Amino acid sequence: MYKDFQEETNVNNTPQSTEQGATFVVVANRLPVDRIVGEDGEIDWQTAPGGLVTALEPVMRQRGGSWVGWHGAPDEEVEPFEHDGYTIEPVPLSAQEVVEYYEGFSNATLWPLYHDSVAFPEYHREWYEAYEVVNQRFAEKTAQVAAHGATVWVQDYQLQLVPRMLRELRPDLNIGFFLHIPFPPMELFDQLPWRVEMLEGLLGADLVGFQVPGGASNFLRLVRRRTEHRVDRDRAKLVGPDQHTCVARAYPISIDTQGFADLANSPEAIAEAEQLLADLGNPSKVFVGIDRLDYTKGLRQRVRAMGELFSEGTLDPHDTVFLQVATPSRERVDEYRRLRDDIDLLVGRINSEVGGVGRPPIVYLHASFPRATMAAMYRIADVMIVTPLRDGMNLVAKEYIACNPGLDGALVLSEFAGAARELRQAYMVNPYDLNGMKEVVMKAATDSTQNRRRRMRALKKQVSENTIDKWADKFLTDLDAKGDMGKDTNAG
């Protein structure tokens, strides 16, 4: 079984599973590990991609309980098993459901729509039907594994119908929902032919969490406008036979800051960082980008901006490198294929035009790496470039701050990442403004030591004070309190 950097299990020692079921259940489309069947038929488990898993894995390791999710392979039934101190409860998906529910409705309808329509969302009735069927399956599986009165925490856009379905099956449960991606304004959300179903699905929860206050207020505005329920400040009082209250608030997610810092300071990561630098020819400045290969991440704009800095001679390819890692993602979805080709082409063109024999100015790696290697990359990044066109939070920005040793690193961050609300001392950019982005990248690279350190000190303070533990505690304490969470509202 795959083990990651922290091995301690269920450190608060609270039993979260009994014979009657689990008292704490996380429900997410992804499990923390993906089942991979090799060519020789051998089975392997790998850490699943993305911010959701990075964030929730330490929460589960600490609290124990059950994680209900898909194991990443089609047409396979997998038995529940124990992993790092909690139970994994796999939900199967057929190959057809992977196409319609996962690649289709989740990632070619909702994903682009919720990210400002930076790619065109497609609407197909059969995709939505598959989404309903799969959400019902997740709700039924959860209803089976949850103990009476358990706390169930449903995650992300793939499962927005689950809270309501689950409440119908199990009204005794305490149901929370957290959306990891942006929740769009009414002007965009209204396109969705199933907008009312989606809102009613979420309203099945006692507490719905968003990354930023704007997400919560977009949601409440839509509930007021598109349903008959009564909205009062940060909550909706449901009309109908089941008169519960659904509260909507912002809970900006974070990372296991100490875990990342420890990993980056481990002898292995330090050695790997030295090796990496040597492999890159010991350049005097290293710019780094690490993203899932996703069109929301602003890769086209970033690569163009960096390419221009090299071709104009502002950056010298002999002593500067731009290392860009793009983790393969959703590879069968058309937009992702197009993006891959575009980036290959752009990088190839820049590298063939700039520089000479030897290491190219842009080192582009389309691959996934273990966390220790990522930590080594964060260690060597003099300037980390995080420029999404829209992003719910962006945990890479926070991981960099946790991992980069000392105070001399610099973070360039898009205004359109949720993280920009908290990481105010980053060098902010509008990724659509290429000249502006080039200027800010250069400012980050050449700023005075004093300025850079002042900024990094504030950033490090932010991520060490706001950790994933605090995030989970805050959400779950509010969920336990049901509607009585104080009078303050942060939905504005």
**DSSP E strands, 84-170:** 86-90, 146-155
110 or 491: whose CB is closer to ligand G6P? 110
Question: In terms of C-beta density within 10 A (0-12 exposed, 13-18 middle, 19 or more buried), how is residue 479 classed?
Answer: buried
Nearest partner of 271 among 376, 365, 363, 374, judged by Cα: 376
Vertex 204: Cα angle to 203 and 209 (nearest 5): 60
Q: Which of 21, 47, 49, 224 binds ligand G6P (CB under 6 A)?
A: 49
Shortest distance (Å) from residue 357 CB to ligand G6P: 38
Burial class (CB in 10 A: 0-12, 13-18, 19+), 77: exposed
d(CA 120, CA 109): 8
Gap between the Cα atoms of 112 and 102, Å rounded = 13
Rounded to a whole number of angstroms, the CA Rg of the chain reads 22
Query: Which lies closer to ligand G6P via its Cβ, residue 110 or residue 444?
Result: 110
> What does DSSP say about strands 362-365 and 320-327: parallel, antiparallel, or unpaired?
parallel
DSSP letter assigned to residue 232: E
Q: Out of 23, 30, 333, 355, point to the residue binding ligand G6P (CB under 6 A).
A: 30
Distance in Å, CB of 487 to ligand G6P, minimum: 31
**Which residues share a beta bridge with 323?**
288, 363
Q: Is 180 in the site for ligand G6P (CB under 6 A)?
A: yes
Any contact of residue 199 with ligand G6P (CB under 6 A)? no
CB 184 within 8 A of CB 116: yes
Q: CB under 6 A: which stretch of 50-58, 184-192, 429-437, 466-474 binds ligand G6P?
A: 50-58
Q: Least distance (Å) from ligand G6P to the CB of residue 180?
A: 4
Minimal distance, residue 363 CB to ligand G6P, in Å? 24
Binding-site size, ligand G6P (CB under 6 A): 10
User: Which is nearer to ligand G6P, 147 or 293 (by Cβ)?
Assistant: 293
Residues 107-166 touching ligand G6P, rule: CB under 6 A, are 156
Residue 162: CA count within 13 A, CB half-sphere:
31
CA distance 252 to 474: 10
Which residues inside 91-110 make contact with ligand G6P, applying CB under 6 A? none
Number of other residues whose CB lies within 10 A of the CB of residue 412? 25
Shortest Cβ contact with ligand G6P: which residue? 50
What's the min distance (Å) between Cβ of 71 and ligand G6P? 12
CB of 100 to ligand G6P, least distance (A): 14
Taking CB under 6 A as the binding criterion, the range among 47-55, 139-147, 246-254, 437-445 that sits at the site for ligand G6P is: 47-55
List residues with catalytic annotation.
180, 391
- Which residue lies nearer to ligand G6P by CB, 30 or 379? 30
Nearest to 362 by CA among 413, 305, 440: 305
* Shortest distance (Å) from residue 51 CB to ligand G6P: 4
Report which DSSP code applies to 120.
Answer: P
Stretch that binds ligand G6P, among 46-54, 131-139, 234-242, 373-381 (CB under 6 A): 46-54
Judge whether 303 and 376 are in contact, CB under 8 Å.
Answer: no
Among 52, 253, 290, 339, which residue sits at the site for ligand G6P (rule: CB under 6 A)? Answer: 52
Q: Decide: is 329 part of the binding site for ligand G6P (CB under 6 A).
A: yes
Q: Can you give the binding site for ligand G6P, defined by CB under 6 A?
A: 30, 49-52, 156, 180-181, 329-330
